[in-house]
Structures are given as structure tokens and as C-alpha cells.
Amino acid sequence: MEKDPHKILAAFFGYGSFRPGQEEVITAILEGRDVLAVMPTGAGKSLCYQIPALMLDGMTVVISPLISLMKDQVNALTESGIKAALLNSSLSASEYELTVSRAAAGEYNILYLAPERLHKAELRHFASSVPLPLIVVDEAHCVSQWGHDFRPSYLEIAGFTGSLDRRPAVAAFTATATVRVKEDIRKGLELKQPFAITTGFDRKNLHFGVEKPKNKDAALLAFLEPRKAKSGIVYCATRKTVDEVWALLCRQGYAASRYHAGLDDRERRENQDDFLYDRKTVMVATNAFGMGIDKSNVSFVLHYNMPKNIESYYQEAGRAGRDGEEADCVLFYSGRDTRINQFLITNNHDNEAGEAVIAHNLELLKSMVFYATGTDCLRSRLLRYFGEEAPSYCGNCSNCNTLFEAADISLEAQKLISCVLRLKQRGRSFGKTMIIDILRGNKSEKLLAAGLDSLSTYGIMADTGPRRIRAVMDYLIQEDYLALEGDEYPVVKEGRFWQEILTGKKPLSLMLAKEEPKRPQTDSRGPDAGGRDSRGPDGRGPDAGERDTGKPAPSRQGPKQQAGAAKSFAPPLLSGTDEALMTKLKELRKNLAREAAVPAYIIFSDASLRDMCEKKPLTLSGFGEVNGVGEIKLAKYGGAFTALIREHLKDGVPGGQ
């Protein structure tokens, strides 16, 4: 087997370069280290262990929570020419026995199974007959009772790995994890000095939106009307709501399916397959649907009801746009959603968890309410929740598009830089919060004791809200007019270009939140029942503390990008796409998928089809340059697709290679 990760990436998966973080994780695994990787949906977590599995001696075991996830992964790997299998209750007795026999004979590179099967006798048999160099724990947040999807069976994993004669490396992967959940993963899986990486939570191709419709049914139909040909998910809080919304969509002529725990296993399986195989375009479901679903062409996720916490929301919303195409993530909010979730948290909990877990979950619900009712940038709110530094304006969410306006910040920038320079003259420097307090004339004991009220810049921005000052300061730091110095407790210093601001040579403008008229405050509750205003007593949100984690690492994409890697902040759809050719390619893909008995996106993603439309390859060598085309798929499908493209271009339209 090839021992170069880059060559395996190209040969089996059809990409020319790694996304941020992938190569580092692969290297750590190949060095035999434990790994804790937090990578957002669509960031390519699977490749981080699938490529090492092709390079290590023996069989990699992947612990996964859902049958649908395993089937999806095994189908995709098999299509790419990789020997993979699964062991779960979906197999017949004969199929199960055959898979066990082949695994023991070392015929598979990767074997997927549920955590409940770790202590089965056959797995001990594998360990004695075939080397197990790597145990992968997918959806690793399930090990934490403080996470949003705790599964007690995940607590058995550490005992299994520790009981083997030779403990394999353990690699844990998840898309969403707070600092607390990360620590739970380390402890719960007994990771040994793991290589830990968080590649960033920002999905630049996703548009986030919050609406507060008076009539959710009417708003849903209005949302779906221009998306009739698109594939998407509608999440509801209860089974009853799922059934009602599904019936509504069916009456309106939509090809809709439904999924919740109240349906029997057969119907759930058939409904899920209808959605995965594009026989139905809309899935209406509770949160029982979707973990690990690898369907790449989901173009929208709409939450008809608000989830109980941001982790759940971000994971569910992240099922949109996995192939890098633009996608919408919209939340319909009402005060009733808050009351429903409060009831679900306090009445449907694990009795052994106790009051502490209930209280914790209610706090998580508050953060979700702040997201739904606040006026600041939605993307910034999400990223800051997970501990990432984020700009106050993204331009790709409903709040930024409707509640922000261009503002001249030249004078404010001068005041900020002057304050930093005045402090420097006294041999002092402070973090962002103290700078804001000085400019606003705060009379805190610490500030007055330091004599900072005697600065000429003290109180010169008393009429400016702290959130606006922070937004301007963040922009000045981003553009190097100011700079942060220090790691644990960073302080604000002058940047390289500060003189341009003080001399007035460079006017500055920034998209900032529109100023709202001040309203008399009666109590801490907001306009929605059960919710609270998203700003604290000083006007800042609950994320107002210092979180100067630095800028995210730049992407290092090559000419052959992986699906899902965004090229700019909000990448537009390819305006030059030949839609007639795209329609033909989709039809060919559907026919090939039907023959192979796999979902269409397993053959090629929409992103790969769009790349074919752009490059229009006429030969096999040209087809090999398409994103997502590896050697196996080139040999299997290259002839059919290039023949179709040649036929499409027979009238003499210039083609590709």
C-alpha cells in the first residue's frame, strides 16, 4: 500500500491538497499518538483516519453511534476502492458471520461498529488474529454528560482499549465541543497526551438566519416555495409537530418524508433511504434524525422550533452545505419554543443525572435564547460560544443583512489609538475591557486606584456603547492599526499603521449594528416569554469576556480543492455553470447510483458535478483533474461522464481536456 498521504488523497479520494488540520492529524496518528480533533461538519474528519487506515498494518476499528452513519461511510469507501465493512444489527446472521470471518482474516482496512459491540467475543478474536493499530471514536462528544448527546455506552470504550494486550492509538473526533466537553472527552476516553486540534467552527458557505414569524406554517411554505427542487431538512421539537408539518407539506405537494422515534424501525429506515436516495426532497424530523448523515447536497436546514442548546443547533444546521455549495440555516423562533424546551429539560431527564445536569441544561438553553433573540451577528455569536475570536459583522447572516449599517469610524479610531498611546507614555498597557472602561469613563475601583481617570482620553467616548467600541477595536487590530501582545492575558498596543489614523490620511468605515433607541428597563426578561435580553447590564452580551485566541489559520488549498472548502467568506454559486449540462450530469449520476444501489452523492457530489461543468473534460486524463475524482472512480465512471460531455458539446462549443 502507498505510504504517502498526499498520493493516497489523490488516488482514492480525488483531491490535490489537504484542508487545514487534516495533515497534522494524519501525521500524529501515523506517529502512534492519541488524537482529539474538533473539526466542523464538512471539514473532512473522516479522511483524517481513513488515510492512516490505508497506511497502517492491520485493521482500523471505527466506533460510531448510528447504523445510518456506518452504512454511508462504508458505501463511500467501497465506491472509492477501499475495503471496509460494518458490524451492527442491520446484518442478517449469515452476513454477520461472513463479515466476522473476513475481518479475522485481515481482509478489511476499516471496520465500523457500535460501542455496544466492543465486548463481543468476536472483537477479542480480531485483536488476537489481526493487529488493531488504531481505534477511532467518531462523534466523541457522546462521552460527555455535559454535552448535548450523552450516550452511556461511550463510557465503555476506555475499558475496552485498556484491556487489549497492546493498547492501540485512540483518535477522537467531533464537530462540536466546548472546553468542558473537550476535557470530558480526554478523561472519558483516557487519552494519553493527545495531539489536540480545533480547526475552527466557521462554515463560510452557510447563511444563518433567525425569523420570528406570527404564522410558522405560512412562513415555512414561503421559505420552501423557491426551493422546490432543493434537498433540505426541517427540524421540529416534538413528534406531534413533525407529523403536523409533514402532513402540511404533503398536502401542498412537496415530496416530504418524516422521521422520529415514534415510527417503527421499518418506516424510519425506508423514510431515511427515501431522503438519502433523493426520492424525497424534504425530511421533517426530530433531532433523532441526522447524526453522521453524510448527504452532501442538503441545501437548507430549517428549525421550525428552537433546539435546547447551541451545540445541538450547530450540529444540526451543519448538515447543510457539506459539499461547499451555499446553503441556508434558518431558525423560526417564538417564546413558546423556550417554554417547550424548559418542560422537556425538567421532565424528560436521566434520573441519575440529578439537579446539576438539569441546571446545566437550562443554562445552555439560555445561550440558545440569546442567539435567537439577540441583535448582534449570528455567526459571531456561534463562534464566540465555542471560544473562537470572531468579527462583529459577517455579512452573511440575517442580523448583519438587516440590522447593520455602514458607519464612519475615523474619529472613534483616533480616540482608541490615542488612548493606547497615552497609556504607553505612562509605561502602562491593558486589555480590551480596561481600554473600553477608560474611554467610557468607568468609575471602577481598579481604574481609579491606578489614576487612569486623569488620562486626557478618560471618558471621551462616554456616549458610545461598549459593544460598538469593541467592534471598532477588533477591526483596528485586524487591520494592524492596533495590535495584541501576550498570550494568556493579551494587552492592546499600537499597530504598524497607527499614524495613518491619527494624521487623518485614511478615513475608515465599518459595518456596525444600528443603534437602537434606549428603552426603560423593567427587569432582565426580554420581549419573548421565557427569554432574556441578549445584553448584560453594561450592554454587552454574555460573551463579553476577553477571548483573544488569535486569528484562524489560513487555508492552504491547492488547485484541486476538497468539497466543502470555501474560497472566500461567502462564496457565490458559480455563475458560469452550464445548467443544461448540470441537469444531464445529475441524471447520469442518478442512473449510475440506482445500478450501484447507493445514494447519488456517493457517486459524485454536486460540487464535483459543477467542477465538471466548469472544466468540461473530454478525455480520461482531463476527467482525472475534476475535484473528487480518484483513480477508482476515474476508471469506473470516467468513460460515461466524458462521453456525455462530448455529446453535449457536439455542436462545437469549446470544451476542456
Highest mean pLDDT among 41-50, 116-125, 323-332: 323-332
User: Do 86 and 175 belong together in one domain?
Assistant: yes
Q: In the chain, how many domains are there?
A: 4
Query: Confidence band (pLDDT; 50, 70, 90) for 657?
Result: low
Q: How far apart are CA 351 and CA 357, in angstroms?
A: 10
- 240 and 295 housed in the same domain: yes
Q: Indicate whether 118 and 63 sit together in one domain.
A: yes
Q: With respect to residue 571, please indicate whether it lies within any of the assigned structural domains.
A: no
Which pairs from 218-227 meet CB under 8 Å and 24+ separation? 219/332, 220/245, 220/248, 220/302, 220/304, 220/332, 221/248, 221/252, 223/300, 223/302, 223/330, 224/249, 224/254, 224/282, 227/299, 227/300
Asked if 394 and 449 sit in the same domain, the reply is no
Give the residue-averaged pLDDT of 303-326: 90
What pLDDT, in 10s, does the model give residues 208-250?
999 999 899 999 999 999 998 899 999 999 999 999 999 999 9
Residues 276 and 147 in one domain: no
Q: Provide the CATH number for the domain around residue 179.
A: 3.40.50.300
pLDDT at 534 over 80: no
Instruction: Clarify whether residues 231 and 353 are in a common domain.
Output: yes
pLDDT of residue 147: 61
pLDDT band at 571 (very low <50, low <70, confident <90, very high): very low
Which pLDDT belongs to residue 62? Answer: 94
Cα 31 to Cα 33: distance, rounded to the nearest angstrom: 6
Q: Which residues pair with 112 in a beta bridge?
A: 62, 86
Domain boundary among 142, 168, 198: 198
Are 438 and 501 members of one domain? yes
Alpha helices in 404-562 (DSSP H): 410-425, 432-440, 445-449, 466-478, 498-502
Element (H, E) at 49: helix 45-55
Domain holding 113, by residue range, is 5-198
pLDDT, position 554: 34
The predicted structure's pLDDT at residue 654: 52
Task: Give the C-alpha separation, 639 to 464, whole Å.
Answer: 65
Please give the pLDDT value at position 599. 87
| 299 inside domain | yes
Query: Domain holding 637: CATH number?
Result: 1.10.150.80
User: Taking a C-beta distance cutoff of 8 angstroms, is the pair 323, 605 a contact?
Assistant: yes
First to last CA, the chain: 30
pLDDT at 487: 67
Closest among 101, 187, 181 to 142, alpha carbons compared: 181
The rounded percent of the chain whose pLDDT value lies above 90 is 47
Cell of 605: 457530489
Percent of the chain with pLDDT over 70: 86
Cα 164 versus chain centre, distance: 34
Alpha helices in 302-393 (DSSP H): 310-317, 335-347, 354-373, 378-385
Same domain, 123 and 249: no
Quick one: 632 and 600 in the same domain? yes
Average pLDDT, the chain: 84
- Give pLDDT tens digits for 159-190: 888 888 889 999 999 987 778 889 999 999 99
pLDDT for 555 beyond 60: no
